[in-house]
């Protein structure tokens, strides 16, 4: 247990952010540019447990639903209690102080009473939550139902992974250092880590990139091992023309260039995100042609020369990386999946025209929903006579479900018959 003199301030700031997310705003857009670890823990931890915390407040509130900001404060305070990072009395006292910082002075007594009621009646509340799927699994009901149908033997593990803290994975730049050498360097710093195939290293505990030896000089990057599958599955050869569609902020582009001497075009529709690609590549001593453009409208940016390899890392629900984007599971709706699938199919159709005969396209999502993955791929191949699905080079299945080592990703490699 530890006491923090700034806990009330952190609870107040986290409550404002969580309140705006609950109203429909993106968490990424609400977090300040300078992100304190405690604030990230409060916001992300609260949103990972959002369904559970909502249910607790609803069960304990005797006067109906409170003011939105007070409700968000209660969610954050309950998460702080459950995380056990502070003494219980400290969380209660600091939450009451936070009411004043939020200019919700009349709510002080209510917040104090509700938090103490939770601590007093916790066993009975826990038993009740076990009977409510959204509270137990901390995901929307429609999300739970899709996963239960798609993965009868694994759906609970997928949901549990979505509520966990994500692992911190590194990708070693083999142009500058070998993975075993870099792992030994980490060990010399007292940083526990293990190899995870290829260029991936998993840290036992996350830490700031400033503490990573060689990060500033391009020896290593932060990238989930699941995301690192993409470059390995593209069957890259030196001299190829490669397109990374939807490339920002450039992690997969960098990995492609680390593995092979190719002429890479990195494309993204978002100018602000695309602006991050070149600096990220320069840190690694790499270069690509960066274009701001819509992958579904190549006539606006394509030079007419076909590509040998295309990475179609398409927009999706982000259901496979929801522990990194905990707001997504509460902002998404079941009806969004049809819109994502339509966009994904449009991107596939457009990018297929840019692929050279004999070339290969890797379709990629960070989703675990079949509606965005196999369903889109199977419909595309059924309607495109020149498309033939290939086995992935690593021999692993197309769908990687999230677990303790990596996030959830889907990959499908398609060859264009000459």
366 is annotated as an active-site residue: yes
Q: Which strands form 220-222's sheet, in the order they lie side by side?
A: 193-195, 200-203, 168-172, 220-222
Q: Angle of helix 50-60 relative to helix 108-120, nearest 10 degrees?
A: 100
Spatial neighbors of 128 by CB under 8 A, at least 6 apart, are 59
B/e letters for 139-161, b = 16+ CB within 10 Å, e = fewer, are bbeebbebbbebbeeebeebbeb
Gap between the Cα atoms of 166 and 402, Å rounded = 9
Please report, for residues 27, 194, 231, 250, 405, the alpha-carbon distance to residue 45 in angstroms, rounded to integers and kept in the order given. 12, 26, 31, 27, 19
Cα distances (Å, whole numbers) of residue 104 to 79, 101, 340, 382: 20, 8, 40, 59
Cα(347)–Cα(300) distance, rounded to whole angstroms? 14
- How many other CB atoms are there within 10 angstroms of residue 242's CB atom? 24
**CA geometry: angle 170, 172, 173, nearest 5 deg:** 140
Q: Which one is catalytic: 19, 99, 233, 366?
A: 366
Q: How many other β-carbons are positioned within 10 Å of the β-carbon of residue 98? A: 26
Alpha-carbon separation of residue 348 from 15, 361, 389 (angstroms)? 41, 9, 14
Q: 220 has which bridge partners?
A: 172
d(CA 143, CA 318): 12
Q: Which run of H or E residues covers position 291?
A: strand 289-292
Q: Are 56 and 118 in contact (CB under 8 A)?
A: yes
Residue 130, both tokens:
């076990």
Residues that are catalytic: 366
């Amino acid at each position: 247990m530890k006491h923090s003199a700034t806990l009330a301030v952190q609870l107040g700031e986290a409550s404002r952010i969580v309140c705006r997310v609950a109203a429909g705003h993106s968490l990424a857009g609400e977090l300040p540019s300078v992100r304190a670890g405690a604030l990230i823990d409060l916001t992300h931890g609260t949103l990972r447990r959002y369904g559970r915390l909502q249910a607790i407040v609803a069960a304990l509130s005797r006067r109906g639903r409170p003011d939105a900001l007070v409700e968000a404060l209660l969610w954050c305070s309950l998460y702080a209690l459950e995380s056990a990072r502070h003494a219980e009395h400290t969380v209660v006292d600091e939450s009451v102080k936070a009411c004043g910082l939020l200019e919700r002075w009349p709510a002080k007594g209510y917040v104090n009473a509700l938090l103490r009621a939770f601590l007093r009646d916790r066993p009975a509340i826990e038993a009740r939550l076990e009977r409510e799927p959204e509270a137990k699994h901390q995901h929307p009901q429609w999300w739970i139902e899709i996963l239960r149908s798609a993965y009868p033997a694994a759906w609970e593990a997928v949901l549990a992974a979505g509520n966990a803290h994500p692992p911190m994975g590194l990708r070693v730049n083999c142009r500058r250092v070998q993975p075993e050498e870099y792992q030994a360097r980490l060990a010399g710093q007292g940083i526990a880590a293990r190899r995870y195939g290829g260029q991936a290293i998993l840290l036992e505990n996350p830490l700031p990139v400033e503490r990573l030896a060689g990060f500033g000089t391009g020896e290593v990057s932060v990238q989930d091992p699941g995301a690192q599958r993409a470059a390995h599955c593209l069957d890259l050869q030196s001299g190829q023309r490669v397109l990374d569609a939807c490339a920002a902020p450039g992690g997969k582009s960098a990995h492609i260039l680390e593995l092979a001497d190719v002429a890479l075009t990195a494309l993204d529709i978002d100018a602000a995100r695309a602006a991050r690609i070149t600096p990220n590549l320069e840190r690694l001593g790499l270069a690509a042609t960066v274009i701001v453009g819509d992958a579904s409208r190549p006539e606006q940016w394509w030079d007419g020369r076909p590509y040998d390899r295309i990475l179609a890392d398409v927009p999706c629900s982000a259901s496979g990386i929801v522990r990194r984007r905990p707001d997504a599971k509460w902002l998404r709706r079941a009806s969004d999946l049809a819109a994502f699938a339509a966009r994904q199919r449009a991107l596939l159709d457009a990018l297929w025209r840019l692929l050279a005969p004999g070339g290969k396209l890797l379709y990629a999502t960070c989703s675990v929903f079949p509606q965005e993955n196999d369903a889109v791929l199977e419909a595309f191949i059924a309607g495109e006579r020149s498309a033939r699905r290939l086995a992935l080079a690593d021999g692993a299945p197309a769908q990687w479900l999230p677990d303790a080592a990596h996030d959830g990703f889907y990959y499908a490699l398609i060859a264009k018959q000459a």
